[in-house]
Chains A and B, each alone.
Chain A
Amino acid sequence: MTNSFDAIVVGAGVVGASCAHYLVEAGLSVAVVDRGSVAAGTTGAGEGNILVSDKEPGPELDLALLSQRLWTELIDVIGPAIELEPKGGLAVGYEQHTFDHLRAFATEQAACGVVATPVTGADLLELEPNLNPEAAGGVFYPQDMQTQPMLAAAHLIARGVRMGRITLHTNANVVAIPRDARGAVTGVETTTQTLQAPLVVNAAGTWGGEIAALAGVNVPILPRRGFILVTEPLPVIVNRKVYSAEYVANVASDDAALQTAAVVEGTHSGTILIGASRERVGFDRTLDWTVVQRLAQQALQLFPRLAQASLLRTYGGFRPYCPDHLPVIGPDARVPGLMHACGHEGAGVGLSAATGFLIAQAAIGVSPLLSLAPFAAERFDAHHVAVVHA
């Protein structure tokens, strides 16, 4: 087996899988390297959100809209196994003033290409018959989708492997990223072997900062912990991806303390997932019962009928966040041959398609569909002067 490739992707989560997929589509041979197994990190701890609804106008929303289009194409390529459901999202405001705020937010989003429809009264209950009827109103986002993120990562990689274009190396920890005389990367060294490629894509998620450090550059990515509750399988009582208005504010918040806001959705298997908590406590995995109680209470406020449901389990993980809440995507100007595709915080599943697409465009020298300037790794350097594209 050859150890030489056109590109090496570090990280077999959904972002790494998408990068590998689009690099293959662009004609490159790819090695995917992960220190664990496929989707063993943040991807395996996620809900599978593909959302435009929770993004405020700006570069991340542009990325989300591109990603949403690409996911609808991916379903044709990868097939139904990834449980992609174009079910739409529903943001709910209990009080009139939170609903008013939601509507104003939706108007701003609509100007950027988001489809958003305010719904109240009987229309709201028709969309979601088991929703708390006391809610003042909601905004329906038909572009929001859901996938099973572990299946998505696995099937994207498996397709490339079947085609003979992706070589998968699991349980292979990257310990060095060697560089040549002019400073360009030459591949990666793992605990077991040396792989060579002129392009290395850092898709290590929450651990992307460690991979960047191996190449000698700073990419400040830190963990933001989250827990999700899983109910017993139930008949369908939640149709859409339903969340309370506070969720949007929590996503954008810089507060380190615990934040929770109900995000409720059904899955193919009948279980209902209840998120979402956010807190900055490093890599501490200890289950916090306060989080469980708060998430359960907030879910009951949205769907009183869940009071009869038993919880089967909880799971948790670490979202990779950057100080400005934007991901790091594209070539690193400081190290030739190094690209980043990490730091997507809680939106990695949704943003993975556009991320992989833009990485592949950059890899073959095509002008990117979206400007990568807002996502540049160098933006965190003290002396960096932002290039503003008119």
Chain B
Amino acid sequence: MPIMWRSFMPNLPVNSVHIRIDGNDVAVRPGISVAAALLTEGYRSWRTTRGQQQPRGIFCGIGACFDCLVILNGQPNVRACMTTVEPGDEIATQEGTGHV
């Protein structure tokens, strides 16, 4: 089924952007958000809350709720839903504030 789909959609982007998630090399479609990349790779949550260490991932998806925070290229508290993946991005799951 995926192969047939692609044959009717010749311009569908291929997984050409190479990034790393928690140290693992993955390739995702260009132009998608960091949150989309994480979801594509099977992540449901990618940070824990500061007080109770509860899992958090995508919630509002439009930059308002600050739930989907992630460490991007060493910078903690980046909103995964508002950030487009770039080649070579290092994405890391975050615990608490993400700061030492």
B-binding residues in A (CB < 8 A):
232-235, 269-270, 308, 310, 312
B75 touches A233 (CB 8 A): no
**B66 lies within 8 A of A270 (CB):** no
Contact A312 B50 (CB under 8 A): no
B-chain residues with CB within 8 Å of residue A235 when the two chains form the complex: 97, 99-100
Whether B77 pairs with A270 at a CB distance below 8 angstroms is no
Contacts of A310 in B (CB 8 A): 75, 77
Q: 9 tightest CB-CB pairs across the interface, nearest first?
A: A232-B77, A233-B97, A234-B99, A235-B99, A234-B97, A270-B50, A235-B97, A270-B97, A233-B50
Chain A minimum-CB-distance residue to B97: A233
With A232-B77, A233-B97, A310-B75 already in contact, 16 other A-B pairs whose C-beta atoms are closer than 8 Å: A232-B76, A232-B97, A233-B50, A233-B77, A234-B97, A234-B99, A235-B97, A235-B99, A235-B100, A269-B50, A270-B50, A270-B97, A308-B99, A310-B77, A312-B66, A312-B77
* Chain B neighbourhood of A233, CB < 8 A: 50, 77, 97
A-chain residues with CB within 8 Å of residue B77 when the two chains form the complex: 232-233, 310, 312
Complexed CA–CA distance, A163 and B66 (Å): 37
Contact with A along B60-71 (1 / 0, CB 8 A): 000000100000
Report the Cα distance A97→B41, complex, angstroms. Answer: 60
For window 46-93 of chain B, which residues contact chain A by CB distance below 8 Å? 50, 66, 75-77
| Complex: A312 Cα to B97 Cα, angstroms | 13
Closest to A271 in B: B97
B residues within 8 Å of A by Cβ?
A: 50, 66, 75-77, 97, 99-100
Main secondary structure of the interface of A (DSSP, over half): loop
Cα distance A234–B77 in the bound complex, in angstroms: 10
- A363 vs B100: C-alpha distance when bound (angstroms): 53
Residues in A whose Cβ lies below 8 Å from that of B75 = 310
In the complex, which residues of chain A have a beta carbon less than 8 angstroms from the beta carbon of B99? 234-235, 308
Chain A residue nearest to B66 in the complex (CB)? A312
Within the complex, the shortest CB–CB distance from A344 to chain B, in Å, comes to 32
- Inside 8 A of A308's CB, which chain B residues have their CB? 99
Q: Which residues of the partner chain B approach A234 to less than 8 Å between Cβ atoms?
A: 97, 99
Question: With the chains together, A232 CA to B75 CA distance in Å?
Answer: 11
CB distance from A229 to the nearest CB of B (A): 15
> Within the complex, what minimum Cβ distance (angstroms) separates A310 from chain B?
6
- Shortest CB distance B20–A (Å): 22
Supply 14 A–B pairs (Cβ within 8 Å), ascending by A. A232-B76, A232-B77, A232-B97, A233-B97, A234-B97, A234-B99, A235-B99, A269-B50, A270-B50, A270-B97, A310-B75, A310-B77, A312-B66, A312-B77
Task: Compute how far the CA of A89 lies from the CA of B50 in the bound complex, rounded to whole angstroms.
Answer: 26
- State how many angstroms separate the Cβ of B55 from the closest Cβ of chain A: 17
CB neighbours of B100 from chain A (8 A): 235
Q: What's the minimum C-beta distance from B42 to chain A, rounded to whole angstroms? A: 27
Q: Bound complex: CA of A26 vs CA of B42, how far in Å?
A: 61
Report the separation of the CA atoms of residues A308 and B99 in the bound assembly, to the nearest whole angstrom.
10
A235 to B50, CA, bound (A): 10
Closest to A309 in B: B99
Give the complex CA separation of A235 and B76 in angstroms: 12
Nearest opposing residue in chain A for B79, CB measure: A312
Query: In the complex, what residues of B have CB within 8 A of residue A269's CB?
Result: 50
Question: Among the interface residues A232, A234, A270, A310, which one has the most CB atoms of the partner chain B within 10 A?
Answer: A232
B78 to chain A, nearest CB (A): 8
For B76, what are the chain A residues with a Cβ–Cβ distance below 8 Å?
A: 232
CB neighbours of B66 from chain A (8 A): 312
Within the assembled complex, what's the spacing in Å between the Cα atoms of A312 and B76?
Answer: 12
B59 CB to closest chain A CB (Å) equals 16
Question: Cα distance A380–B75 when bound, in Å?
Answer: 54
| CA distance in complex: A232, B99 (Å) | 10
Residues of B within 8 A of A232 (CB): 76-77, 97
Q: Closest A residue to B76 by CB, please name it.
A: A232
**Distance in Å from the Cβ of B5 to the closest Cβ of chain A?**
40
A269, B50: Cα distance in complex, Å: 8
Residues of B within 8 A of A270 (CB): 50, 97
A122 to chain B, nearest CB (A): 25
Task: A232 to B97: give the CA distance in the assembly, Å.
Answer: 8
Residue of B nearest to A237 (CB): B99
Roughly how many angstroms separate A312 CA and B79 CA in the complex, as a whole number?
Answer: 10
Residues of chain B contacted by A312 (CB below 8 angstroms)? 66, 77
Nearest B-chain residue to A269, judged by Cβ: B50
Cα distance, A247 to B21, chains bound together (Å): 46
